[in-house]
């Protein structure tokens, strides 16, 4: 599936989780799926826990995270040098 179509699965609703990224308007936050993956859960395990969820939803979460991190910029914090 093309990236833009995957990203359309990620939505935002101020009434759900304060407007955080969610999957297809449902009460499942992208960060929750990413947390499960980071904890070692497999895609299959996640899909079993959420029968309405599709593998493309999980891929969309990963793509969304990659896009967010890809736009991150870290600026060094310069603290005055000792005199």
- Residue 65: which residues within 8 A CB-CB, separation 6 or more? 30, 34
pLDDT-derived band at 59 (thresholds 50, 70, 90) equals: very high
CATH number at residue 14: 1.10.10.10
User: Is the pLDDT assigned to residue 83 strictly greater than 90?
Assistant: no
pLDDT at 9: 98
Q: The domain containing residue 47 runs over which residues?
A: 3-70
pLDDT at 16: 95
- Residue 26: which residues within 8 A CB-CB, separation 6 or more? 52
List pLDDT tens digits, range 12-56. Answer: 999 999 999 999 999 999 999 999 999 999 999 999 999 999 999
pLDDT at 82: 65
Give the total number of structural domains in the chain.
Answer: 1
């Amino acid at each position: 599936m093309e990236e833009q179509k995957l990203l359309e699965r990620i939505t935002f609703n101020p009434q759900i989780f304060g407007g955080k990224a969610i999957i297809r308007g449902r009460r499942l936050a992208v960060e929750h799926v990413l947390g499960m993956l980071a904890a070692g859960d497999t895609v299959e395990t996640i899909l079993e826990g959420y029968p309405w969820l599709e593998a493309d939803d999980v891929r969309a979460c990963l793509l969304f995270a990659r896009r967010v991190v890809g736009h991150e910029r870290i600026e060094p914090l310069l603290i005055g040098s000792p005199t």
